[in-house]
A and B are shown apart, each in its own frame.
Chain A
């Protein structure tokens, strides 16, 4: 019996010839990642009684959630992390001037084909865009890996999601992701590996593939994955931090479920409050007044996202009743967007250009919403209270939809302004 890509990676990592779904394997991860929550993790690590981490070279810490620190309490947490990485000799530490962890993991060459990556953040599914096995775990589990270097993983059943056809104008990876989640539902892929295939995926940029694997978490998946190809290798040139191996799913690999989509049928999509699977075509949302537009996050804060927004807003002004906040996903994104004139265009249109980081996505920092307000966000979650106020509403859409909506002051179809 053939194996899926996810099964092959877990077999290789556990030094087994083959593995099958349901089997528990113990592996040493290629990287274990954490962010601002490292302040809590290091306290847990100390509680284990261990003095030194198992391998400081495998630990990656990236400060992104509350950067720069908004309060003395957060500042103290950051400093406790800085002291810990020095004391332990952890070289893979990226301070507040780098970017969102899931973007930095890619840019700094940690996201590698066939790597096993675990992280204390639910969107650690993102590195799957590079053909890695990547999954989110909790803080105690990260502390346990720092102590022992090991984690147990249940080999997941795989779903295949096959997408063919050309994406119509004004429709982007985010719309496809929302469409799939609306179909599969928020719990439809709990504990499963979700493998994205087909010509539409092959034709997508790395940044767009990252949208799909990032949002796999929103259907409950353990990991989302795309086979690596020439584009992946191109991206990794001068970035890859370690040697890597490209693996492929076998022809006769077994998938528990198969979903097939024709991208050419798609229209822009909106996830209505308060669940990510509450997805409708843009026409149902058209005309809903908004107070804030949030462009950024690990889902949609990359250059291609800012670029499409700038294309829509060039030479125009956003609606005066809307606040538009732009958070580039990283400083690398910031610099490239700056060089291309994208940030200038957005600022001239009336957007506030913020520093790279998670921003208001999880309601811990910056850009809070007032009672009764509505926000069109390019993030991956719209749960009640997600952005810090349970009396506000969050609608999710693509960067193009975000820019078109900022322009009009209400949720708008980007196809009319592109």
Chain B
């Protein structure tokens, strides 16, 4: 269970995680403290484990910087639900084990900021408890699901190494 943080279209990586921090090697906690700094200064202060982001189209466009995914995951975000994702951002989500879920615009519009929701990644269901509805999405499959379950591609390779 967590709350919805609702944002609009074309939210770029510079407002999710500013470039001035990109070439500093930071702890997860420090990255989380800068999440969405230039878009919503309240986010980093109030976000809780299990919260989700719901956004419009082209979420995460711009830089390939992975911290723009990592800072949200470290802040406790369980999934990002958007009408569409920028291509590198989407890959980074999978490779860092943060589920990126695409929904149609009419479904995105059903969510409001602050709604209480529960996301089941394995079953592919989002339950909006505040509004009392469920939305289904196709669960991840195969290699991609394996990476998400492992918590990221690095963890996945390490696990495979252990098996060999």
In whole angstroms, what is the CA distance A362 to B68 when docked? 14
Indicate whether A383 sits within 8 Å of B15 (C-beta atoms), given known contacts A40-B25, A77-B25, A187-B10: yes
- Binding stretch for chain A, among B90-98, B118-126, B131-139: B90-98
Contact of B154 among A48, A124, A364, A381 (CB under 8 A): A48
Residue interface bits B140-151, CB-to-A below 8 A is 1, else 0 = 000100000000
> Any chain A CB within 8 A of the CB of B51?
no
B110 within 8 Å of A (CB atoms): no
Contact A48 B161, beta carbon cutoff 8 Å: yes
Interface string of A380-418 (1 = CB under 8 A from B): 010111101010000000000000000000000000000
Known contacts A140-B66, A144-B95, A385-B19; is A187 also within 8 Å of B61 by CB? yes
A364 adjacent to B38 (CB under 8 Å)? no
B14's partner among A49, A120, A384 (CB-CB below 8 A) is A384
Give chain B interface residues in 69-127, CB to chain A under 8 Å.
Answer: 69, 84-88, 91-92, 95-96
Tell me whether A187 and B19 are in contact (CB under 8 A).
no
Min distance, Cβ B154 to any Cβ of chain A, angstroms? 5
For A121, list chain B residues within 8 Å (CB): 64
Stretch among A89-97, A131-139, A287-295 lining the B interface: A131-139
Asked if residues B158 and A141 are in contact (CB atoms below 8 Å), the reply is: no
**Does A12 reach chain B (CB closer than 8 Å)?**
no
Please, which residue of chain A has its CB at the minimum distance from the CB of B157? A48
Residues on the B chain within 8 Å of A220, using CB:
58, 61, 86-87
B49 at the interface (CB under 8 A from A): no
Which residues on A sit within 8 Å (CB–CB) of B10? 186-187, 275
A186 to B13, CA, bound (A): 13
CA distance A388 to B22 in the complex (A): 11
Across the interface, name the chain A residue whose C-beta is closest to B88. Answer: A136
CB contacts (< 8 Å) of B14 on chain A: these are 381, 383-386
A147–B164 Cα gap in the complex (Å)? 14
The CA of A37 and the CA of B131, in the complex, are separated in Å by 43
Per a CB cutoff under 8 Å, which of B23, B58, B85, B92 touches A138? B92
User: Which A residues are in CB contact (< 8 Å) with B69?
Assistant: 138
> Among B22, B57, B157, which residue has the most Cβ atoms of chain A within 10 A?
B157
Shortest C-beta distance, A272 to chain B (Å), equals 14
Q: Which residues of B contact A186 (CB under 8 A)?
A: 10, 58, 61
B12, B15, B24, B66: the one within 8 Å of A139 (CB): B66
Across-interface contacts of A385 in B (CB, < 8 A): 14-15, 18-20, 38
Closest to A153 in B: B91
B85: A residues at CB distance < 8 A:
190
B153 on the A face (CB < 8 A):
yes
Residues A138 and B95 in contact, CB atoms below 8 Å apart: yes
Q: A190-B84, A190-B86 are in contact. Are A136 and B22 (CB under 8 A)?
A: no
Name the contact of B64 in the complex, choosing from A36, A50, A65, A122 (C-beta under 8 A).
A122
* Distance between A298 CB and nearest chain B CB, rounded to angstroms: 13
B19 near A363 with CB under 8 A, answer yes
A45, chain B: closest CB distance, angstroms: 8
Docked complex: B18-60 residues within 8 A CB-CB of A: 18-20, 22-25, 38, 57-58
Contact of A144 among B19, B66, B153 (CB under 8 A): B153
With A48-B154, A138-B92: A190-B87 Cβ-Cβ less than 8 Å: yes
A200 to B123, CA, bound (A): 52
Q: Tell me whether B62 and A65 are in contact (CB under 8 A).
A: no
Contact of A364 among B20, B66, B88, B161 (CB under 8 A): B20
Q: Are B22 and A362 in contact (CB under 8 A)?
A: yes
CA A144 – CA B19 in complex, angstroms? 24
Q: Is A324 part of the binding interface, using a Cβ–Cβ cutoff of 8 Å?
A: no
- Chain A 46-70 against B: per-residue CB contact (8 Å), 1 yes, 0 no? 0111100000000000000110000
B64 and A136 contacting across the interface, CB-CB below 8 Å: yes
Beyond A65-B22, A140-B153, A141-B153, list 20 extra A-B contacts (CB 8 Å).
Answer: A36-B23, A39-B23, A49-B161, A50-B161, A65-B23, A137-B91, A138-B65, A138-B88, A138-B92, A138-B95, A138-B96, A148-B157, A187-B10, A190-B84, A220-B86, A362-B22, A364-B19, A364-B23, A384-B38, A388-B18
What are 21 of the A-B contact pairs (CB < 8 Å)?
A: A39-B23, A48-B157, A48-B161, A49-B157, A50-B157, A65-B22, A122-B64, A124-B64, A140-B95, A140-B153, A144-B153, A190-B86, A220-B61, A220-B86, A362-B63, A363-B19, A383-B15, A383-B62, A385-B14, A386-B14, A388-B19
